[in-house]
Structure 1
Amino acid sequence: MAELSGKYEILNEIGRGHFSVVKLAVDRHTKETFAVKIIKKKRFWHITKTKQQILQEIEILKQLKHPNITSYKDVIDTPQTLYIFLELATGGELFDKIYDDGAFSESKAREIFEQILFAVDYLHSKGIAHRDLKPENILLDEKGNIKITDFGLARFTGQKALMTSLCGTPEYLAPEVIECGIAQKQGNTNIGYGKAVDMWSLGVILYIMLTGEPPFDNKEKEHLLRQIEGAYFCFEERHSSVPELAKDLITKLLTVDPTLRFTAQQALNHPWILQKRNHSIKKHISSTEYMNNYISEGLIQRFSLDKPIHPSTTKFLDWSCTGVLGIALHNEIYFWNQEYNFSDLPSIDVGGIITSISWCNSSSSTQYMAVATQDNIVTLWDINKAQVINKFTGNENSVGVITWNKSLLSTGSNDGKIINYDVRSKQPISIIHAHPREITKITWSPDCSQLASVSSNLVKIWELNGAKLRNEQTLANNAKSNVLRHHLVVKDLAWCPWNVDLLATAGGEDCKTRIWNTQTGQCILEKDTPLPVQTLQWCKYHKQILTGHLTPNETQLNQWKFKDMSQIRTYSELRPSGEYKTLFMEQNPHNQMIVTSVRDDVLYFWDVFQPRRANPVQFTRSTLF
């Protein structure tokens, strides 16, 4: 290191990065101490992408000057080695503080998180996305103030071509980064992402600071990424010390749609952060703010529609991944979220009596919905623009049910036929004569690898093979059959969100709920209930199942533990007696809210799930992709 002897003295190693060793350095003249990143060119400089990444980091560091970001001091470039001198933070990593001390107090977490927000807001104002925010890359100085470091993956957000790679640390990745990586594997290089990925990472960091555990945990990377894509996280009973305001902020940061996710500015103005500056801030009002005339436990509200559901409409309620409820009424679709008053909902007229609706949730930036009408036509609507962008034909009979794969649109019709359309070409890629009678339910598994269809008392499973569906396995009790069989008509079915080979079916009048392993065809759990099972849903945040039942004067929801199907709780609501014999239930993937209807002119909104996780998760150091 002769080239440094005149100016700096290099001392002991204090850390290691992906491309570098970090050592302590002292300015021989001023005696000021620095951290120096030492990069051996022989190992990395021949890799063009790595060289560009390192030079980009230097360029970004030169532009930054903020009290909560490690400052650039100097660079020495020699033929063999590159030395980057940075401000030294002597208080260690935020990771080590959490690992040693566990969850922080509310005041300590708020103080640290506010500093992180100031730094990220500064970065974003300069058009820079960090892309690898995590406790390991947040340092503390001797006074306990934070310093964001390691800009090796940082990019100027204006350079879109550089914002399309699957990079970062898996546990802190935003859903759109995962979506981008999947698209690239499929040859689609047109999907990118922006600086909102940093805000998702901050949501993960805040959760960790307040609980001592990561929100997303699974040793299998595929399952971990699936948890992140659906924002499947929860707060345990042991996390009761986490205030509701902090939970609200975390939820707004861990929002799947980046256009709805909080920005740094919005987070800085959130009531939980503002409490530090103004202790007179009122307690945050939760999502039940709009409730009135509360009657039953778990029931949030009842809303009356202008008219009953049309008898030809099989699926008239569907939630988008961002929490917008589509409501099909005759020839119109109304859209509701908690910002809208039910007396004045936005709507579109599709021009015919609707038989089924289904949101496409594979795109986070644009909201698409497939709509089937009585004229046997399925149209794809861009809801943001309120216009048809695709039309799918070829169904000779009325389409009663629709479901989405990320690349396929599948329809089930009254003649028992399944047609799978390629969304881009609008053409059928396979037609399956699946059942001899009407198909009443059709749904893809969460990973889009298996399709389940229902007709009468039979459930058939189809597996995706390339671009086509094929009858893959022998399932159920009969070794030569491809069906899961109930004794009476199957009323509903739902895929397990954490194990894609598990399928729950509601047996209707035979009063049975069954859980099947679709790979072996075995019924692994069966529960007899006092009332016929009309509908069911899994709790996406914990291992629970919710079943829906009707009595002549009451809607009843029963909550069960998945492990042994033991009952947790029963919720019920009196309703006017009538001729409606079918209960319909849909779960909001955004906040677990349940909406039920008995096909009359009333919607019931419930908040019944208590999200929990069975065991504490060890907080461990993460690695890059």
Structure 2
Amino acid sequence: MEPPMRQPPPPRSSAATTILGKYQVIRLLGRGSFAKVYQARSLIDGTIVAVKIIDKSKTVDAAMEPRIVREIDAMRRLHHHPNILRIHEVMATKTKIHLVVEFAAGGELFSAISRRGKLPENTARRYFQQLVSALRFCHRNGVAHRDLKPQNLLLDAAGNLKVSDFGLSALPEHLQNGLLHTACGTPAYTAPEILRLSGGYDGSKADAWSCGLVLFVLLAGYLPFDDSNIAAMYRKISRRDYQFPEWITKPARFVIRRLLDPNPETRMSVEDLYGNSWFKKSLKVEAESETESSTLNLDSGYGNRVRGLGVNAFDLISMSSGLDLSGLFQDEGKRKEKRFTSGAKLEVVEEKVKEIGGVLGFKVEVGKDSTAIGLVKGKVALVVQVFEILPDELLLVAVKVVEGGLEFEENHWGDWKLGLQDLVLSWYNE
């Protein structure tokens, strides 16, 4: 697990401000062993965001590689719920990964508890309702969080809860016979069946256990089971060896007891909470998307595909090692495509590609929707796609070698590169 964020130093002066893509970095919010989080401002519309900068040299190993991909994939699928931290963009360089996410101005819920101790029941219930709403959405979309704790629950400027840190989440493709089999999470908040790990476990029921612990902490100000010795803590959990402080009401105790049931078969589920009268008190029903997965549609320009091909920011990630993650986990020598940025107009680039193809003896084919240009010569087949990164300012052009990669490299690429040079701002693989 990543250690808690350390307190940042004082904000840097404006003279030292960094520009990251189309964002102006404002100040350091915190740092961990493999990432730093900054507050930043969009240079396009002034929106305040948080940028998580991950150092590849410290993280891309057998353990951290899947966590990075999983966090992005989970947040992409859960993009539309109001109580789940929203991801805006993913960018990368050869040394860093940049996750641009919603800015939670209120900080960690853990900090609020540390300052205030126990929370009033109405306040605790409101946070709990928002947490449960987010988790129900996660579970309906096949995602189990598996690392729920106050440190991973953030607050926005209006005091609304935002679930974050999906690095240990489980997606539908991780199931084996409908169950999960990996032990993970923070021991003090982890369900006993995960610690026991005798057979698989239901991720949604494990999240329900963690919800019970979070609710106890919100109302009591401390953990019900807390022991540095994991075996001793597990014995307490198995015996339900904990005491309620006198100020927690009977209806709230009932909910906590049902959630902190060491038997997942009889434990209350997240869905069951919606039938509980204490939970439903003053409940605000959020407008939730019930789709199986949500396609990320970004307003920043990265999510806009030229002429309706439907490629979003995460499709762009798979194409451009200069922007994103696919270059982290693939051998660059195995790629069969060339990518470059261009400041020319879309139509100019497309016409130039057709012109070069014709001059070099390629048969040019354009799809009915004009979203891609196909070029064929002998055993060599290319597909050229043009993506609009910033409207009327920046294009990404991908030259994909579909067939005849070796022949293309040896006999054709030099001529193509020479023909394209007037369009190119920079090549991504150089």
Normalised to the residue count of structure 1, the TM-score between the two structures is 0.41
Q: Aligned pair in 2 of structure 1 residues 263, 217: CA closer, same or farther (>3 Å)?
A: same
Task: Tell me if structure 1 keeps the 8 A contact 2:180–2:202.
Answer: yes
Pairing 1:32-43 to 2, within 5 Å after superposition: 32-43=47-58
Q: Does 1:53 align with 2:59?
A: no
How far the C-alpha of 1:60 sits from its partner, in A, is 1.1
Q: How many residues align?
A: 266
Shift of 1:160: 2.2
Which AA in structure 1 matches 2:100?
A: F
- Asked whether 1:254 is paired with 2:254, we answer no
Determine if the alignment matches structure 1 residue 227 to structure 2 residue 244. no
Q: Distance in 1 between matches of 2:54 and 2:213?
A: 30
Counterparts of 1:273 and 1:227 in 2: how far apart (Å)?
A: 26
Aligned residue in 2 for 1:121: 136
User: Over residues 251-285 of structure 1, what are the superposed CA-to-partner deviations in whole Å (9 max), with x where a residue is unaligned?
Assistant: 0100111122111121122111123259xxxxxxx
Residue 233 of structure 2 aligns with an amino acid whose one-letter code is L
Question: Is it true that 1:195 corresponds to 2:204 in the alignment?
Answer: yes
Name the residue aligned to 2:120: 105
Q: How does 1:121-520 map to 2 (within 5 A)?
A: 121-160=136-175, 163-180=180-197, 183=198, 190-235=199-244, 239-276=245-282
CA contact (8 A) 2:18 2:25 kept: no
Alignment root-mean-square deviation, CA: 2.2
Q: Structure 1 residues 255, 89: CA separation in 2 closer, same or farther (over 3 Å shift)?
A: same
| 1:71 aligned partner | 86
Quick one: distance in 2 between partners of 1:17 and 1:123?
A: 26
> 1:100 is aligned with what amino acid?
R
Identity %: 34
Deviation at 1:53, TM superposition (A): 1.6
CA–CA separation in structure 1 for the residues paired with 2:189 and 2:111: 17
Between the aligned partners of 1:87 and 1:7, the Cα distance in structure 2 is 15
SS in 2 for 1:74: strand
Compute the displacement of 1:226 (Å): 2.4
Could you give the per-residue CA deviations for residues 204-259 of structure 1, whole angstroms, max 9, x where no partner exists? Answer: 01011111111102232321232234432221xxx222110000000010011112
Alpha-carbon displacement from aligned partner over 1:389-410 (angstroms, at most 9, x marks no partner): xxxxxxxxxxxxxxxxxxxxxx
Deviation of 1:131 (Å)? 0.5
Structure 1 residue identity aligned to 2:255:
L
Q: Which has the larger share of strand? A: 1
Paired with 1:244 and 1:233, the residues of 2 have a C-alpha distance of 15
Given the alignment, which residue of 76, 80, 84 partners 1:62?
Answer: 76
Q: Which residue of 1 aligns with 2:307?
A: none
Matched residue SS, 2:58: helix
Distance in 1, matches of 2:265 and 2:33, equals 31
Aligned counterparts of 1:98 and 1:82: Cα–Cα separation in 2: 31
Looking at structure 2, the residues matched to 66 and 277 of structure 1 have their Cα atoms a distance apart, in angstroms, of 16
Q: Decide which moves more: 204-213 or 153-162.
A: 153-162
**Are the equivalent residues in 2 in contact too, given 1:160–1:192 (CA < 8 A)?**
no
Q: Say whether the 8 Å CA contact 1:178–1:229 is kept in structure 2.
A: no
Question: Cα gap change, 1:78/1:233 in structure 2, threshold over 3 Å: closer, same or farther?
Answer: same
Q: Give me the whole-angstrom Cα distance separating, in 1, the residues matched to 2:248 and 2:20.
A: 52
Give 5+ residue unaligned stretches, structure 1: 184-189, 279-625
**Is the 2:146–2:168 Cα contact (8 Å) retained in structure 1?**
yes
Q: Is the 8 A contact 1:36 1:85 kept in 2?
A: yes
1:424-475 deviation digits (Å, cap 9, x = unpaired): xxxxxxxxxxxxxxxxxxxxxxxxxxxxxxxxxxxxxxxxxxxxxxxxxxxx
| Equivalent position amino acid for 1:241 in 2 | W
Q: More helix by proportion, 1 or 2?
A: 2
Aligned partners of 1:127 and 1:158 also within 8 Å: no
Q: Provide the secondary structure at the position in 1 that maps to 2:265.
A: coil
- The letter of the residue matching 2:204 is K
Give the TM-score normalised by structure 2. 0.59
- Post-superposition Cα deviations, 1:457-497, rounded to whole Å, max 9, x if no partner, equal xxxxxxxxxxxxxxxxxxxxxxxxxxxxxxxxxxxxxxxxx
Which residue is 2:40 aligned to? 25
* Conserved? CA contact 2:107–2:155, under 8 Å: yes
User: Could you tell me which amino acid in structure 2 is paired with residue 202 of structure 1?
Assistant: C
Answer whether contact 1:157 1:195 (CA < 8 A) is retained: no
CA distance in 1, matches of 2:182, 2:171: 14
- Cα distance in 2 between the residues matched to 1:169 and 1:213: 15
Give the conservation status (yes or no) of the 8 Å contact 2:124–2:219: yes
Tell me: higher relative CO, structure 1 or 2? Use CA pairs within 8 A at least 6 residues apart. 2
Aligned residue for 1:219, secondary structure, equals: coil
Letter in 1 for 2:82: P
Deviations 1:113-143 (A, max 9, x none): 1111111111111010000100011111111
CA distance in structure 1 between the aligned counterparts of 2:34 and 2:239, rounded to whole angstroms:
33
Give SS of 1:56's match: helix
CA contact (8 A) 2:204 2:270 kept: no
Give the Cα separation in 1 of the matches to 2:158 and 2:69: 31
* Structure 1 residue 16: Cα displacement: 2.9
Q: Aligned with 1:128: secondary structure?
A: coil
Structure 1: how far apart are the matches of 2:77 and 2:159? 24
- Code of the residue aligned with 2:222 in structure 1: it is E
- Contact 1:138 / 1:146 at 8 angstroms: preserved in 2? yes
Q: In the aligned structure 2, how far is the partner of 1:49 from the partner of 1:229?
A: 30
| SS of 2:63 mapped into structure 1 | helix
CA deviations 1:72-131 (Å, max 9, x no partner) are 100102111100010001012111111111111111111111111111111111010000
Q: Distance in 1 between matches of 2:283 and 2:274?
A: 11
Match of 2:411 in 1: none
| Farther off after superposition, 14-23 or 69-78 | 14-23
Query: How far off is 1:2 after superposition?
Result: 12
Distance 1:169 1:11 in 2: 32
Greater C-alpha radius of gyration:
1
